[in-house]
Structure formats: C-alpha cells, structure tokens
Structure 1
C-alpha cells in the first residue's frame, strides 16, 4: 500500500541541534499551525464523487432523526410544551455555528472538518482538543443513536407480532439489561455499507433520508388532527431554566449538520457545494423538528412524555387513537431514519480520524486507503467495532449529554477560527462569507458557552475526564508523531 502521509514542511531553514527538536520549545510545538495551502492541496486517494444533493443528504442523514425520534421524550419533561422553544434555541445555536462552518468548509475543503480548521488557525494543541471533541461528537453519538434504534425495533415487534426482545438483550447495563444487541446490529449494518465506498453509501443514505422525511410528514398530518389547546397550558411550566436545559439536551438532535464538511476531499466541487449543503440541511432539519415537536406536545399532555421510549409511536397510539397501521409505519420509518443517522455519522467519524492520522496525531492505520474501493477500510472496521461495544453497554441519556458538550466545545472553536482567518488571511478566496461578521461568529461562540453551562455537573465531569484522557494521549503520542514535528527522523523512526 502506498504511504498516505503528507510530505512534511520544515519549519525553519536553520539546522536543528542533534540534542533537541528544531522547535524553540514546548509552547511553539503546541502552537504550530498547518498552512491553509497545505490543507487545501493535500489528498489521500479519496475519490471525488459527491455532488450537492449527496452532500446535503449526508448532513440531513446525520442530523434528522435522533433528537425527534428518541431524545424528544427526555426533553419534554424538562420544558413542557415550551420544548418547541427549546428546539428553536438549539437551532439558533446550531445556525450561528453552521454559518461559520459554511465559510470554513468553502475555504478549506478537507476531510477533517473543524479539526482541520482549527489546525490552520489556532495551533496543534487546540486542533487536537477539537478533534478529540469530534471523536466524542461522532463516535459517541452513533452509539446513542443505535440505542434508540433498539427501542423502535421493540415497538415494531410489539405492534406486529406481539413480542419484544427481552430486556436482558435489548437494554444496556444500568437500565435492566445485560447487552443491547439491536444497537450492535445496526452499527454492523452501517459498517458493511461504508465498506462498499462513499458513492454507494451516499446512495443508500439518500433513499433512507427520503423515507424518514416522508415518515415525519405523515406523523404531523395525523398528530395535528388530535391537537388540543389544553395541552399547551401552562406553556412554560418549568420556566426559562427548563427551556434552556431541554435546549442543551436537544442540541444533540442538531449534531450532524456539519457532516458534509467531513466529505471535503470527496466532493466534486467542494468550495461551491459544501457551504450550500451545510446551510440547506440545517434549514430542512429545523423546520421539520419544530413541526413535529408542535404536533407531539399538542396531541399528548406533556406529563405523559416522562420515561417514554419510541415517543412518536406512542403519541399516535395513545393520544390520537390512530390505528395500529400508522404506528407500524412510523416505527418502520424511525428504524430507517435512525439507520441513516448511524450510517452518515459513522462516515464522518472515519473521515475525521483519516485526517488526524494523516497528520500523525493518531496511528497511521486510520489513513490507509483501499485501492479498490477508495475508502479507509481498516478505519471503518475499527470505528464500527468500537461504536458497537459502546452502544451495547452505555445508556442513551448519558451518551446524549456527553456528546452535546463535546460538540458545543468544537462548534465554539469553529466560530473563533472564522475570526482568526478573517484577520490573518483576508486574501483567501471564500465561497461563502458569514454575514455580519464579527457579530455572528461571536454570537455563535457565546451561544455554545451558554448551552454548555446549562448541562449538569455529571456531564461536565464526563467531559473533563474525556479531555484529560485526550491530552494524555496527545502528549504521549500525538505531539511526538506529528507530521509538523521538525525532528523528522526521530518521529518517523518511532513508527
């Protein structure tokens, strides 16, 4: 297999001392940046085969489904009918960051998404932290989504044949089970699709996206017939604090709109299509989320959402009096919807690790590309097995909140990166420009901080533990192996 590494760029023309790295010290090593020109010019034999429609479908596929099919049941008890406002709050947070993503994706069409953007602007240590957050965002969110897939599978089995998978094999430890087998199954199905190549995966994802949009529209049509005015009063029973808490949880449902940016090296016209795909996908998702949430809380009292699983199916069954057929169709649609999220988000995770590996910050196995399919096959298998284990053993709530805080941190860095590049590299061509800069990026970063502050202490402890583990790995491995490390012979010899 041909070596996929990017040629290294010397940092100085002055010969390095044999007894120390060429960099002046630890601080300069942590702050070293990867030139934008290098990011936009490098390739790793990934094939450019995706157009605007496919890129938009990747982002919709990675976003639409999880929050509205699964996490809605956890958010409504926190905010009551005002959960609709929580979706708007989470959507605004995502919008400001989406605009920043759109500008950077058009400038730096690399597979690493916000990891690559921060590497070019804020330095290697911050880029590593961002990449580590993206691993939390993508890898852990896939596991959380897979847990929700099992809930709807049980609902479908109950409606059609009157049986369910025993809790021991459909719930993780801590929720009455031993192992979540359905979650493992959907992850492995996505793995086999990804192994076939980006174009084939994008086609399968596009079909699933069409099915889940149709499913949500059918739900709205049926649920709106059962809306009762009394279900909206009191509208904000837990106050603005409840709206904020639910919004922080529901931000999980917007994770994935940036998935198109991970396809930067597989897009046919990345500078033009990536910004459009990101903004368009977020618009479609936000409109659908608000419609479905409004229909759901209008059709069923908000107090009935507590501890609800497969919540949309229950709305149709318990509140509307709709026949079993509608609930069966909704459960099938939910299974397809969540499957597409698993597929698209796992795709993004593998491409981020591909970029980090090419830079030397994680092992080189993640950037080895199969010559026949043009995909990083070993990367896909490793990620899939790790996610399968995670989804089989950890409850949904813990996964969702931990994912949200890591994502918010990464999004905040993207907003900062826009401001840095506007100041340091104003001459670079931009296919899209964030309107009202610097106000918009500052608002984006501010909203991210606000939403992070709304999350609980347990979530913060998990996040800080994750960050500590990531920094330990970076200082033990990534800093020494980095392709920007001026002590080239030493770094390569260790590999």
Structure 2
C-alpha cells in the first residue's frame, strides 16, 4: 500500500520502528473515545431543546455521510498519517502541509484550552476550589499527563482510549439513570414539544459545536500502519462506534434539559451543574437560589463522578494527540514539515518530538488563556473552543473533498469498502461534509451571521460570548487562524531539504533501474 506515495530510504527507516498492534477492538474504543467528548455536551444543551433537534438533524445530514466517507478512505488508503496522505494525493503537498498544520495545531489548543478548564471546573465543583499556584499546577499536570500518555508505546498506550471509552459509557449511563431517580423523587424541569422547534439563531449557534462533536472517524487512520488489518477493521469500527456515539450524546443532553432550565445551563459547566443537582438524590440539598450542596453518599459519588469526568477529558486529549501528532510526523517525513518532526522513537515507536511540541503549545495556550480571561472560566472556555473548532473545520475543508478527487485520480486503488451510490454517492458524501465544515467555519469566525437576514429577531452581536465585543472576539478567532496558516507555510518551507533529497533519490533510481515497476515512483 505504501506504493501510493514515494518513500525515501530515510522514511522507510523511520516507519520500520512502528509496531503493528491495533486490533478491531482497539479501534472501536479508540473511536468512541475520539468522537464522544464530554467537553461540549453543556455547549449543546445551553441552546435548549432545539439543540437536540439539530443533533438529530446533523446525525443524518452530516454524521452518516462523514462516517461513510472515512470508512472508504481509511480502507482504500491505509497509510500512516492517513489524513495528510489523502490530502497530499488529492491536492498536492503544499495544500496538505497547510491542512496538516491546522489539523495538528487545533489539538494542543483544545487540550490546553477547553479540556483543561473543564478539568479544573470539575475539581472545583466536586472536590475543592483551586486558586493561584494550585490551579496552575493542576492544569500543568493535566496537560503533561496527556502528553506522556501519547508518548508511551501503543502496546500500553492503546489502553488509555479503551479505558476512556468505558469510563464515558459509565459516567453517561450513571448520569442518565440518576436523572430517572431524580425525576421520580423530585419531578423535572421538563420541556414542551414547541421547545424542539428549530430557529435560525439556535441553528448557527449549535451547528459548529455539533459538527465538532461528531468528527474523529479519520483519526485511527493516522496510525494505519500500526493496525493489524486496516482495510477490514476501519469500516466496521466506524459503523459500531458511530451508532454508540449518537446514543451517548443524545441521552445526556435530554437529561440535562430535564433537570436544569436553559437559563442555568452554561457551556463550561452545563453537564457538571446538572450532575451535581441530580446527585442530591443520594445525599445533598438544592438551595432556593440554585446552589447545590452534596453530603454523604452524594458527596462521595460526586467526587467519583468528577474523577471519571476528568479521566474522560484526559483520554480525549490523549487520543487526539496520538492521532494528530502522527499526521504531522508523516508530513515531516514527506517534506511538508521540518524533518525533525518526523522522527519515530526506536524505544516507543511514537513521534516523541511532535508529542513534546504539542505539550509545549498546550502549556502556552493554557497560560495565555488564564491571563487573557482574567479568571472568567466561561469566556476562556468559549474563546478556546471557538479557535479549536474553527481550525479543525478549516482543516477538514482539505480532507472531506479528497474522497471525490481520489475516486477520479486513483480509480484503480483497491477499495474493500465503497460509499454506496457509485460516483454520485462519493460526490454527495464529499459535498455534504464539505458544506457543513464551511458553514461551521463561517459561523464560528463571524457569530450571528445572517440573524437579521431572514426575518429572525435579534442582533448578530447577541451570538457573541457575554461581555465580549465584536472586535475583541474577531481578533481572538481570526488572528490564531492566520498564524496557524502561516505556520503551515513555514512548515512547508522547512521541509524543502527533505523534498530535495527525495527528488534526488527518485532521479538516481530512474537512472539505475529504469521506469518505476509499480507505477508509483518506486523501483
């Protein structure tokens, strides 16, 4: 399969350090840990019952075609660094360099931003408030635990997403069951059927978060050459994990809406607030002003819930680092990034240099966000989440169209699984997913766009985080995107020596052994 791309002896040597160990079991739980994130459940629920409406809508219009698309690409082109390789084959190395820079950078930003603040919030809410140096030390421990876990060999590291998947199921299952107990004892806030009616303002607010919730099917393909049988296992793992993801998102969001009025649900603590109130059925009280105090068994279960929640967040960050760092490492091997980033550790079989770079960037994002937010967790959360989602969505604008393009440029590639419907089916899957990625990017970079175009009441600036002006918000979103695109250009320039060596090698091969035997630039 490596014949679809040119490989220098240097790249072959680095890839020889990879170890084939991932089974279908590992892939299913890897994907559940990737796709099902607890960090954005509150961000969806704060939009009220219509958030659930859009969840179901995008499950059909985005999640299904996205899963079909990634099942075909992962099975047809099972090469290490999958997303980079697909984009490079479809659109060239320069475009792939830009896409990879955005795809990789979004994950340290997400880890140092949204995941860290949620972990701090969970500890604050259920264990003890963190202030000053204690808060900083906790955040650093959280970030670097994820980095170290990503460095560890897959022989051991693969159990982190597997355990993380089980923890997700346990946390969300226990929460949903506890809502039933809470409802039987105290009644619920509830919602009426008209609350599910969709509205444009809610649509543009929730769509980017929902799409961010649903992505991740391509991530295991970053480690395709560490799988035992990628062609067979990737499509099945996508199908099984996709079905579970819809349930694991839908039920908790409904449960939150049953327990809390929409006015009390925030993006940063919506799930945590609902969990804390629900756990009072095991011991605790809800104060008239909305405050909650857990006692006895309720407090013990609250602390266990916080520990499980933090582990779920940590496993999410670790899993995404495992995949995205491998994508950047392959770009380094191929001349689309500095060669040093392509080093694979002989001891661990992982791209340690990229892992450490991810940790440094996550730490910088965390420190910068703490400083800029002035202690406001909600502003910190929304700004960091917006940047993480927008950079991810822009990267997908280069990945999603690759399916349709590769159907045309590589028609003879063996495809054990194909998107149904032939060529039109491939174009529909690529077109739908690309459209939603473009729409999400637009509404993230300019929240409220179109609110006053279709007769909807309100003002576009109402879609901004509370207390943040339009100019300040746009600077926090547009500037990072421009910097990351510039990083992609710099990465490509830094990869020039690697590209030159590869060209020299191909030239020598052509003189020594004539035309390539396999039609892919290798003798």
Tell me the CA shift for residue 464 of structure 1: 4.1
Q: Structure 1, unaligned stretches of length 5 or more?
A: 1-33, 158-162, 171-179, 490-495
Where does residue 359 of structure 2 map in the other structure?
384
Aligned pair partner of 1:446 in 431, 435, 458? 435
For 1:400 and 1:279, the matched residues in 2 are separated by: 27
Determine the C-alpha separation between the residues in 2 that align with 1:469 and 1:359: 19
Per-residue Cα deviation, 1:406-433 (whole angstroms, up to 9, x for no partner) = 2223333333111111122221101221
Deviation for aligned residue 1:396? 2.4
- Measured in 2, the distance between the counterparts of 1:190 and 1:468 equals 25
| Cα deviation 1:244-272 (Å, max 9, x = unaligned) | 31121233333433321111111011111
Task: Judge which range, 224-233 or 383-392, deviates more.
Answer: 224-233
Deviation at 1:90, TM superposition (A): 4.7
The correspondence of residues 255-266 of structure 1 with structure 2, limited to 5 A, is 255-266=215-226
Distance, in Å, in 2 between the alignment partners of 1:328 and 1:192 is 25
CA displacement, residues 182-230 of structure 1 (integer Å, 9 cap, x when unaligned) = 2321221123333330120002331232122111101011113426374
Residue in structure 2 matching 1:137, options 97, 101, 106: 106
2:208 to 215, 228, 248: 248
**Which secondary structure state, in structure 2, belongs to the residue aligned with residue 46 of structure 1?**
coil
Quote the offset at 1:232 in angstroms. Answer: 4.2
Q: Aligned partners of 1:185, 1:446: CA distance in 2, in Å?
A: 38
Aligned to 1:473: 490
Matches of residues 191-340 of structure 1 in structure 2 within 5 Å? 191-225=147-181, 226=183, 228=188, 230-232=190-192, 235-236=195-196, 239-306=199-266, 309=269, 311-318=270-277, 321-323=280-282, 324=298, 325-340=300-315
**TM-score, normalised with respect to structure 2:** 0.76
Cα deviation, 1:375-428, whole Å, max 9, x if unaligned, reads 223332232232233234323222211221222233333331111111222211
Instruction: Identify if the C-alpha distance between structure 1 residues 335 and 306 changes in structure 2 by more than 3 Å, giving closer, same or farther.
Output: closer
Structure 1 Cα separation of the partners of residues 58 and 159 of structure 2: 29
CA RMSD of aligned residues (A): 2.9
Conserved 8 A contact 2:34-2:216:
yes
Q: Distance in 1 between matches of 2:281 and 2:444?
A: 36
The reply on whether 1:51 has 2:26 as its aligned counterpart is: no
Counterpart Cα distance in 1 of 2:141 and 2:106: 21
| Residues 1:216 and 1:98: Cα distance change in structure 2 (over 3 Å) | same
CA deviations 1:440-485 (Å, max 9, x no partner) are: 2222222222222222422752464135423541464345643587
Q: Does 1:358 align with 2:352?
A: no
User: In the alignment, what sits opposite 1:173?
Assistant: none
Structure 1 distance, partners of 2:445, 2:123, is 30
Which residue, 413, 424, 435 being the options, matches 2:398?
Answer: 413
Change (3 A) 1:296 1:167: farther
Segment of structure 1 superposing worse, 299-308 or 416-425:
299-308
Q: Give the aligned partner of residue 66 of structure 2.
A: 97
SS at match of 1:99: helix
Does the 8 Å contact 1:93/1:448 carry over to 2?
no
Would you say the 8 A contact 1:62–1:256 is kept in 2? yes
Counterparts of 2:58 and 2:197, CA distance in 1: 19
Contact 1:141–1:403 (CA under 8 A) maintained in structure 2: yes
Q: Equivalent of 1:401, from 382, 386, 389?
A: 386
Aligned-partner SS, 2:281: coil
Mark the runs of 5 or more structure 2 residues left unpaired by the alignment.
283-297, 370-379, 447-473, 507-523
The offset of 1:301, in angstroms, is 0.9
| Contact 1:224–1:299 (Cα < 8 Å) also in 2 | no
Cα shift at 1:312? 2.4
1:138 offset after TM fit, Å? 2.5
Q: Is residue 139–residue 387 contact of structure 1 (8 Å, CA) maintained in 2?
A: yes
Q: For residues 448 and 371 of structure 1, what CA distance do their matches in structure 2 show?
A: 38
Structure 1 residue 35: deviation in Å?
6.8
CA distance in 1, matches of 2:117, 2:313: 10
* Distance verdict in 2 for CA 1:195–1:383, change over 3 Å: same
| CA distances 1:85-130 after superposition (whole Å, capped 9, x unpaired) | 2333454424322321221111221232322101011112221121
CA distance in 2, matches of 1:455, 1:101: 24
Equivalent residue for 1:36?
A: 4
Query: Does the CA contact (< 8 Å) of 2:84 and 2:99 recur in 1?
Result: yes
Task: Check whether the contact 1:313–1:330 (CA below 8 A) recurs between aligned residues.
Answer: no
Supply the distance in 1 between the matched residues of 2:395 and 2:489 (Cα, whole angstroms).
19
Distance 1:73 1:214 in 2: 18
Q: 1:279 to 1:238 in 2, by over 3 A?
A: closer
